[in-house]
Amino acid sequence: MEINTDTSWPQALKDPSDRRAGKPRSSGMTMVIDKGLGALAFADLLAASGDSIDFVKFGFGTSTLYPMPVLRDKIALAQKHGIAVFPGGTLLEAAVRLDVERDFWNVVLELGFDGVEISDGTIELSRRKRDNLIREATQRGLRAFTEYGKKTPGSRIVLDDLRRTIDADCACGAELVTVEARESGVGVGLYDEKGSCREDELRLLQQAVPEANRLMWEAPQKDQQVALLTILGPEANLGNIAPQEVMSLEAMRRGLRSDTFSLHRVVSHYMI
């Protein structure tokens, strides 16, 4: 039996919002956290969901645990799908603490990573040191992604501090500032001890930081993603998305899931 390879869903069903941009995107970006996917699982993820993924972060210090051929292959495959790849910020924090920064930069470049995440979620970085790390990354031709917030349970967002951090990081060359929520999304930053989004706080942040393209919100839980997309609009940048949740998030962005069925009607300065 002959197979019709031209079969396609109507465009209205593929994207009821009629707003979803293809890659490369400057908003509505999705960052996946990879905590140890094997080569075959990673290839399957990209084959099915690659068009919906903008970044892959190899979580915390997992980059050092892969066999080098596996790590190289994963980086190259992601880049083939138009996906930027970087190691987790905890790895650079460890390099700073252990005084092996030069070796860190050399290996990152030799492996072909697109960028690095610069954070101080576990250690303390002076403003000067943070600036220098961002500049070091950009001078080496790497994309600099920074992170705001601590990993300590109970840590909260301080509005003025976030505003200053965004301005200072971007002035040094940072491309995106990610708001910390850990991979659990519980009891840190925007989320309470049950993982619920502090929506009133989010609305205040929305007013204070209108430059949506400069922020990425870690949102590992589905209800968090719904809250962010509903309040900020489908073009909010979301990170720490589990590999198996990529399609679900993309469906929500397009209004293809009951939680956000009317999402395309949301009017927000976060939308293009």
Q: Which of 109, 196, 120, 199 is nearest to 161 (CA)?
A: 120
* 5 inside domain: no
* CATH number of the domain that residue 80 is part of: 3.20.20.70
Which pLDDT value is given to residue 158? 87
The answer, yes or no, to whether residue 272 has pLDDT greater than 50, is no
For residue range 149-158, list pLDDT tens digits in order: 887 887 888 8
12 in a domain, yes or no? no
Tokens of 60: 């915390």
Q: 192-207 burial string, b = 16+ CB within 10 Å, else e?
A: eeebebbeebbeebbe
Lowest mean pLDDT: which of 119-123, 157-161, 229-233, 264-268?
A: 264-268
Q: Are 33 and 59 in contact (CB under 8 A)?
A: yes
Q: At what angle do helices 159-172 and 127-139 cross, to 10 degrees?
A: 40
**Of 6-10, 88-92, 232-236, highest mean pLDDT:** 88-92
Q: Evaluate whether residue 19 is within a structural domain.
A: no
Q: Which residue has the tokens 């962010």?
A: 228
**Does residue 48 sit within a domain?**
yes
For residue 15, what pLDDT is reported? 87
* Residue 147: inside a domain: yes
pLDDT at 152: 81
- Residue 134 is part of which domain span? 25-265
**For residue 7, is it within any domain?**
no
Domains contained in the chain, number: 1
Residue 265 has a pLDDT of 52
Residue 115: inside a domain: yes
Model confidence pLDDT, tens digit, residues 183-215: 777 878 899 989 899 999 899 888 888 677 899
* Contact criterion met (CB below 8 Å) for 175 and 145: yes
Mean pLDDT, all residues of the chain: 91
Q: Lowest-confidence range among 2-11, 68-77, 131-140?
A: 2-11
Distance CA 60, CA 148 (A): 15
Q: 144 and 155 in contact (C-beta within 8 Å)?
A: no
Would you state the pLDDT for residue 263? 65
Q: Give CA–CA dist 49/46, Å, rounded.
A: 5
Question: Which carries the bigger pLDDT value, residue 157 or residue 35?
Answer: 35
Q: Where are the alpha helices (DSSP H) in the chain?
A: 11-14, 39-49, 68-80, 89-98, 101-111, 127-139, 159-172, 199-208, 222-232, 246-254
Given a cut of 70, is residue 271 above it in pLDDT?
no
Mean pLDDT throughout 229-243?
Answer: 94
Q: How far apart are CA 120 and CA 156, in angstroms?
A: 14
| pLDDT the model gives residue 270 | 43
Please write the tens of the pLDDT for every residue from 147-180. Answer: 998 878 878 888 889 999 999 999 999 999 999 8
Give the per-residue pLDDT at 17.
Answer: 83
261, pLDDT greater than 70: yes
Q: Tell me, yes or no, whether 136 lies in a domain.
A: yes
- Nearest alpha carbon to residue 239 among 64, 84, 77, 63: 84
